[in-house]
């Protein structure tokens, strides 16, 4: 089943599965984001992908960077929290978050801001330089080998900060790739994307230690 409104894309199997909040990249809630939601639903997850950019779907990185710069951060936060709130009303169990780029950064932030509701976070080329104390989440990070926005020092620092909070973390870097390698687009890398997918699905299906 799937449904689309001006605010979100919702899709899930006939028998509702574990809930996933999908946070799209700075290219908006586009066809690539919806295909990712559909793939997750095919794996048995109930997925909500909120529209974080109010309908904007920038086609190029330059357009996306400009659109994000012009966006009100409060609107991004409100859309993210709103999506989590919707899933919280449909399922009492904690939510798993998958975020891409901008969405990955928001997912990492959300795991601290709403620690009781976020069970796991998968972030593709997102970053945060925040204190992760208080989070209860597991983390899986997927990083591009050639990233103009998140360098290797940033990635190491983020992983170390999460680890210092005694949180479970897996971190993978894909040599020779750029941000965008996972989803359809100019920088899509089939081999890296398939490898990441093979890691993502088991991670989302696993449970946190009691």
pLDDT digit string, tens, across residues 76-126: 999 999 999 988 765 567 899 999 999 999 999 999 999 999 999 999 999
| Helix axis angle, 73-90 to 102-113, nearest 10° | 60
Phi, psi (deg, nearest 5) at residue 150:
-125, 105
Q: CA–CA separation, 155 vs 57, rounded Å?
A: 27
Q: Are strands 2-4 and 8-11 parallel, antiparallel or unpaired?
A: antiparallel
pLDDT given at position 182: 97
In three-state secondary structure terms, 104 is helix
Torsional class of 15: left (φ above 0), alpha (ψ -120 to 50), beta (otherwise):
beta
Residue 61 in domain: yes
Residue 45 inside a domain? The answer is no
List residues bridging with 124 in a β-sheet.
100, 142
Any domain includes 11: no
Rounded mean pLDDT, 141-161: 94
CB 141 within 8 A of CB 116: no
Return the closest-CA partner of residue 176 out of 154, 193, 198, 201.
193
Report d(CA 198, CA 200) in Å as an integer.
Answer: 6
Tens digit of each residue's pLDDT (9 = 90 or more) over 4-33: 445 899 999 988 889 999 999 999 999 999
In a domain, 15, yes or no: no
pLDDT at 3 over 60: no
Q: Is residue 43 part of a domain?
A: no
pLDDT value at 188 more than 50: yes
The pair of structure tokens assigned to 136 is 């209860």
Average pLDDT for residues 56-69, to the nearest whole number? 92
CB-based contact 53:80 (threshold 8 Å): no
DSSP strands (E only) in 7-109? 8-11, 19-23, 46-50, 95-100
Number of structural domains (the chain) is: 1
Position 186 scores a pLDDT of: 86
Q: Is the pTM for the entire model greater than 0.95?
A: no
Is residue 14, in this structure, part of any structural domain at all? no
Counting every residue, how long is the chain? 210
Torsion sign, CA atoms 107, 170, 27, 149 = positive
Range of 134's domain? Answer: 52-205
Residue 30 within any structural domain of the chain: no
Under DSSP, the state recorded for 137 is -
Instruction: Please give the structure tokens belonging to residue 26.
Output: 């700075």
The pLDDT of residue 56 is above 70:
yes
The answer as to whether 156 is a domain residue is yes
What pLDDT sits at residue 91?
56
Give the confidence band of 210 by pLDDT, cuts at 50, 70, 90.
Answer: very low
Q: In angstroms, rounded to a whole number, what is the distance separating the alpha carbons of residues 21 and 80?
A: 9
Residue 156 confidence class, pLDDT cut points 50, 70, 90? very high
Per the model's pLDDT, the better-predicted residue between 115 and 210 turns out to be: 115
**Which carries the bigger pLDDT value, residue 2 or residue 59?**
59
User: 66: domain CATH number?
Assistant: 3.40.50.1820
In Å, what is the CA distance from 163 to each residue of 51, 125, 156, 157? 31, 18, 10, 10
């Amino acid at each position: 089943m799937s449904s689309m409104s001006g605010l979100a894309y919702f899709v899930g199997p006939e028998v509702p599965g574990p809930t996933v909040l999908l946070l799209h990249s700075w290219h908006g809630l586009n066809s690539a984001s919806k295909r990712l939601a559909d793939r997750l639903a095919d794996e048995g997850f109930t997925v909500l992908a909120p529209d974080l950019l109010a309908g904007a779907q920038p086609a190029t990185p330059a357009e996306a960077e400009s659109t994000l710069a012009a966006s009100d951060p409060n609107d991004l936060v409100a859309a993210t929290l709103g999506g989590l709130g919707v899933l919280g009303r449909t399922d009492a169990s904690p939510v798993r978050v998958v975020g891409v780029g901008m969405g990955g950064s928001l997912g990492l932030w959300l795991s601290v801001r709403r620690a009781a509701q976020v069970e796991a976070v998968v972030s593709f080329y997102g970053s945060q330089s925040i204190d992760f104390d208080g989070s209860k989440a597991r983390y899986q990070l997927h990083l591009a080998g050639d990233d103009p926005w998140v360098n290797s020092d940033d990635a190491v620092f983020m992983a170390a900060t999460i680890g210092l909070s005694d949180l479970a973390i897996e971190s993978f870097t894909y040599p020779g790739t750029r941000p965008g390698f996972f989803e359809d687009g100019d920088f899509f890398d089939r081999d890296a994307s398939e490898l990441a997918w093979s890691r993502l699905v088991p991670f989302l299906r696993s449970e946190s230690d009691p």
